[in-house]
Amino acid sequence: MRTDLWKGKTIVITGGSSGIGEALLESLSQIPCKIINLSRSEPELIRKISKKKEKRAAEIFHIQADLSSEKEINKAVAKLAKLADGIDVLFNNAGITAHSRFDQTQIEAFRQAFDVNFFGPVFLTMRLLPFLKKNKGAVMVTSTVSGLYGVPARSAYSSSKSALHAVMESARIELSEEGLRFIIFCPPYTKTKLRANGIDGDGQKLGESHYSGKSKTPEEVAEKMIRSVEDPNSRLVVMDKSGFFMKWMRNISPSFLEKVLYKKLYKDFH
């Protein structure tokens, strides 16, 4: 991390109460900057600071909000406007996963996935554009490798994230002349509670255990995200071989990619 680039900046993080968002909050809190967290529950770090059990260089604020609700986003932005008049970096990190076969997925599950993964970050970004334009800021969305191609047993999840990609790419081109940047970050499997808090095909809580294979820690992902913001050329960022494979094979040989996905994830949709 280049701490000099973050000093004095105003940073907004969504979903900072757990997982990758929590790791971002923890890392950036070491720097003298202003951090505003938006999430339904208050991060443990902020509770410790308020109780004077810990002290950090950053000035940190929490705004409670359900980011799938336009009404709550509007309220959160009104509160945020009292704390900052410009934003340097927006980490659109909050998200939800959805696991089920397409033919066993109810439309409600698609709506839930899109409310959290697509409409929430898109509407929040729209509402914060005046703040971002003032500081010529950067927007990073936490996506997934599953957003690079339709993954079996992830139709609702993959589609909500790939739709988000398209919006961010359009915005990047349109607003580049105003100095704004839009970065799509696709981490690999990460040790978070994403599966436990995800939804099934009926829109009910998934409650799956964490992925048992090789995975990254939230801290590793957060470090890469921060370095990606520091890189002015960042656009679509992946972290590992599986991400690079998906990124390139979707264009080079989608038929081969589908055969690999079919074999690798067969048990997920049977």
Looking at the domain assignment, is residue 69 inside a domain? yes
pLDDT band at 210; cut points 50, 70, 90? low
Looking at the domain assignment, is residue 235 inside a domain? yes
- Ordered alpha helix ranges (H), 136-266: 155-175, 218-230, 241-252, 254-264
Q: Write out the residue range of the structural domain in which residue 190 sits.
A: 3-243
pLDDT band at 208; cut points 50, 70, 90? low
The total domain count for the chain is 1
Looking at the domain assignment, is residue 15 inside a domain? yes
Say yes or no to pLDDT of 214 above 90: no
Looking at the domain assignment, is residue 173 inside a domain? yes
- pLDDT exceeding 70 applies to what percent of the chain? 96
In whole angstroms, what is the distance from residue 93 CA to residue 61 CA? 17
Looking at the domain assignment, is residue 216 inside a domain? yes
What length does the chain have? 270
Q: What is the pLDDT of residue 192?
A: 73
Looking at the domain assignment, is residue 250 inside a domain? no
Which is it for strands 89-92 and 59-64: parallel, antiparallel or unpaired? unpaired
Looking at the domain assignment, is residue 155 inside a domain? yes
Structure-model confidence comparison of residues 184 and 210, the more confident one: 184
Cα-based angle 168, 65, 198 (whole degrees, multiple of 5): 70
Assign residue 86 the CATH number of its domain.
3.40.50.720
In whole angstroms, what is the distance from residue 109 CA to residue 100 CA? 9
CA distances, 15 to each of 12, 66, 101, 171, 201 (Å)? 10, 10, 27, 22, 23
**What integer is the mean pLDDT of 250-268?**
94
Looking at the domain assignment, is residue 130 inside a domain? yes
Q: pLDDT tens across 88-109, in order?
A: 999 999 888 999 999 999 999 9
Q: What's the predicted TM-score (pTM) here?
A: 0.92
Q: Which helix (H) or strand (E) holds 183?
A: strand 181-186
Query: 60: buried, middle or exposed (CB in 10 Å: 19+, 13-18, 0-12)?
Result: buried
Please give the positions annotated as active site.
Answer: 157
pLDDT band at 195; cut points 50, 70, 90? low
